[in-house]
C-alpha cells in the first residue's frame, strides 16, 4: 500500500532547473517530518492493545453520523489485508481498533501482507475488497480483470528518487540501473514519470527488481544500483548516509477496489465498509490525543520514551490530510498519465470509465454522511475538502 510515502500534497519539492555553485541541482522544499521504524508487533494483537490503551468512547461519539443503509451488509465478515506496516496505515488500524466497522455491521480483520501477495490474492478472489497500489489496479484493468475503484485515499503516492553521489542531476540517470521492489509497481511508475518529466528516455535505464524497499536501499548503499525511488523511512535513511536526493517521484493513487462481480450483490457491504473506514479515519485525523496511542501500539513504540514519542507524532503528522484522507472520490485523470507505463498490450484495454465507480461515495454524500462527520469531528486538517455528490 504505497500511500505510506505520500508527501508532495503538503511538502513542496522541485528542481530549480539550474545547478548551484557546486554544480549540483537544488530543489526548494519544506522540512520533512521524522520517519518511523517498521512495525514490530502483529496487527491483530496491536489492535486489541491499542483500544485498551486509549479507552475510546468512539461508539457514543459517532452515534450521530451513522448514515445507515436500509439493509444489512450482504457479507458481514471481511478480510482486508494491509499492504504495508507503517504509519501510513495508522488510520485503518485506528478504524479497526476503535470498532468503527462493527458499528456498521461488519467484522473486519486486517492481517499484514505485502503488495505482491495482496494483488495475487485479490485477483484469485480471496479478498473481494482491498486497497491496492494504483499501478497494480491499472495492470489488472489492462488485463481485463473485472475491477472497480470505489474510493481513493490519496491523489497519488510519492517517493524520493535517491542516487549515488556521482549522479547530481536527472540527465545523469541515462544508462543508470534503478532499483525497485518489483517490476511494474508503483515505485517504478513514479520513477518513469520522473524520467519523462525530465526528458530522460525511459529506454535508457534498466529497472532492477530487488524484492523490497529495504533491499533496494541496501543495494544502493552497496553500489549495486545507481538510483532508487525510496519511501519513508528509507528516504531519510538514504539522506543520512549521504546519498543524493534528485527529487520527488509521484506514483498513481491508492484506491479501495472491489471485484465487479462481487460488487453486484454486495452494494450494502461496500457502503458500510466505506462508512466504517471514513468515520474511523476522520476521527483519527482530527483527534491526535486518541490516535497517537493506537499508532504507537501498532508500531511497537512507547509514548513514554521521548525519542519514540517524537517519531510517532512525526509519523502521524506526515500522513494527515491532504496526504491521505477518508475514502472519497477517485478521479480518472489521476490514473490517466500512468497508463503509458503499462505493457503496450494492456494500454488500450484500460477503460477508466469502467474502472472508476464513484456511485458509492456519491450516495454517502447525498445522504449527508460526510457533512455529518465534519459536524461531529470538525474539519479535516490541511483544509482538505471531501468532494460533494455529483
Same domain, residue pair 186 and 212? yes
User: What are 201's three cell numbers?
Assistant: 528516455
- Asked whether residue 136 falls in the same domain as residue 263, the answer is yes
Residue pLDDT, tens place only, 344-354: 999 999 999 99
What's the residue count for the chain? 390
The contacts of residue 349 (CB under 8 Å, 6+ apart) are: 141, 142, 143, 144
Residue spans of beta strands (DSSP E) within 37-168? 77-79, 107-109, 129-131, 147-152, 157-163
**Total structural domains in the chain?**
2
Q: Which residue has the higher pLDDT, 10 or 244?
A: 244
Does residue 37 fall inside a structural domain?
A: no
Rounded to an integer, the average pLDDT of 265-271 is 97
293 with 320, same domain? Answer: yes
Answer yes or no: is 171 within a domain: yes
Kindly state the cell numbers that stand for 337: 498519465
Q: Are residues 102 and 135 in the same domain?
A: yes
Of 193, 219, 251, the position where a domain reaches its end is: 251
pLDDT of 161 higher than 50 = yes
pLDDT of residue 242 exceeding 50, the answer is yes
Span 203-224, average pLDDT = 92
Contacts 24+ apart (CB under 8 A), 381-386: 381/285, 381/286, 381/320, 381/321, 382/9, 382/10, 382/320, 382/321, 382/322, 382/323, 383/322, 384/321, 384/322, 384/325, 386/325, 386/326, 386/328
Return all residues near 16 (Cβ < 8 A) that are at least 6 apart. Answer: 25, 26, 27, 28
Does the residue 264 lie in any domain?
yes
Point out the least confidently predicted range of 14-18, 177-181, 354-358, 365-369: 14-18
Segment among 55-69, 159-173, 201-215 with least mean pLDDT: 55-69
Residue 247's nearest CA partner among 295, 188, 282, 197 is 197
Domain-ending residue, one of 206, 224, 251: 251
* Residue 378 is assigned to a structural domain of this protein: yes
Q: Which pLDDT belongs to residue 88?
A: 79
Q: Furthest-apart CA pair in the chain: how many Å? A: 67
Residue ending a domain, among 251, 269, 303, is 251
pLDDT at 383: 80
In a domain, 318, yes or no: yes
User: Would 76 be classed as within a structural domain?
Assistant: yes
- pTM, to two decimals: 0.75
pLDDT (mean) for 221-242: 87
Within a domain: residue 225? yes
Any domain includes 183: yes
Q: Which residue range forms the structural domain that includes residue 77?
A: 43-155+254-383
Domain match, 151 and 278 both = yes
Task: Pick the more confident residue, 287 or 7.
Answer: 287
Are 230 and 353 in the same domain?
Answer: no
For residue 251, pLDDT over 80 is answered with: yes
Residue listed under C-alpha cell 512495525: 39
Supply the mean pLDDT for the chain.
81
Under DSSP, the state recorded for 356 is B
d(CA 272, CA 235): 36
Backbone angles phi, psi at 7, to 5 degrees: -125, -25
Amino acid at each position: 500500500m504505497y500511500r505510506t510515502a505520500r508527501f508532495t500534497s503538503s511538502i513542496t519539492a522541485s528542481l530549480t532547473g539550474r545547478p548551484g555553485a557546486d554544480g549540483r541541482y537544488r530543489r526548494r522544499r519544506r522540512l520533512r517530518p521524522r520517519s518511523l521504524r517498521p512495525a514490530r508487533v502483529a496487527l491483530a494483537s496491536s489492535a486489541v492493545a491499542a483500544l485498551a490503551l486509549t479507552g475510546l468512547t468512539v461508539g457514543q461519539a459517532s452515534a450521530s453520523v451513522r448514515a445507515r443503509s436500509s439493509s444489512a451488509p450482504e457479507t458481514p465478515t471481511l478480510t482486508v489485508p494491509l499492504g504495508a506496516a507503517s504509519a501510513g496505515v495508522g488510520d485503518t488500524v485506528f478504524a479497526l481498533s476503535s470498532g468503527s466497522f462493527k458499528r456498521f455491521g461488519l467484522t473486519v480483520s486486517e492481517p499484514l501482507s505485502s503488495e505482491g501477495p495482496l494483488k495475487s490474492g485479490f485477483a484469485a478472489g480471496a479478498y473481494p475488497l482491498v486497497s491496492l497500489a494504483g499501478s497494480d489496479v491499472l495492470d489488472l484493468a489492462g488485463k481485463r480483470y473485472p475491477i472497480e475503484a470505489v474510493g481513493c485515499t490519496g491523489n497519488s503516492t510519492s517517493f524520493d528518487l535517491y542516487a549515488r553521489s556521482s549522479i547530481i542531476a536527472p540527465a545523469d540517470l541515462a544508462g543508470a540501473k534503478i532499483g525497485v521492489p518489483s517490476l511494474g509497481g508503483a515505485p517504478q511508475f513514479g520513477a518513469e514519470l520522473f524520467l519523462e518529466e525530465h526528458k530522460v528516455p525511459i529506454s535508457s535505464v534498466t529497472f532492477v527488481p530487488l524484492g523490497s524497499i529495504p533491499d533496494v536501499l541496501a543495494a544502493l548503499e552497496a553500489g549495486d544500483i545507481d538510483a532508487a525511488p525510496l519511501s519513508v523511512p528509507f528516504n531519510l535513511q538514504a539522506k543520512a548516509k549521504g546519498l543524493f536526493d534528485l527529487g520527488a517521484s509521484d506514483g498513481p493513487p491508492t484506491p479501495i477496489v472491489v471485484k465487479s462481480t462481487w460488487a453486484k450483490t454486495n452494494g450494502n457491504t461496500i457502503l458500510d465498509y466505506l462508512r466504517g473506514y471514513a468515520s474511523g479515519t476522520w476521527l483519527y485525523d482530527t483527534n491526535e490525543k486518541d490516535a497517537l496511542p493506537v499508532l504507537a501500539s501498532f508500531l511497537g513504540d512507547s509514548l513514554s520514551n521521548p525519542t519514540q514519542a517524537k517519531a510517532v507524532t512525526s509519523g502521524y503528522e506526515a500522513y494527515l490530510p491532504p496526504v491521505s484522507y477518508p475514502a472519497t472520490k477517485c478521479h480518472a485523470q489521476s490514473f490517466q498519465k500512468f497508463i503509458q507505463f503499462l505493457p503496450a498490450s494492456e494500454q488500450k484495454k484500460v477503460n477508466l470509465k469502467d474502472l472508476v465507480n464513484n456511485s458509492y461515495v456519491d450516495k454517502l454524500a447525498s445522504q449527508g454522511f460526510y457533512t455529518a462527520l465534519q459536524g461531529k469531528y470538525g474539519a479535516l486538517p490541511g483544509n482538505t475538502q471531501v468532494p460533494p455528490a455529483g
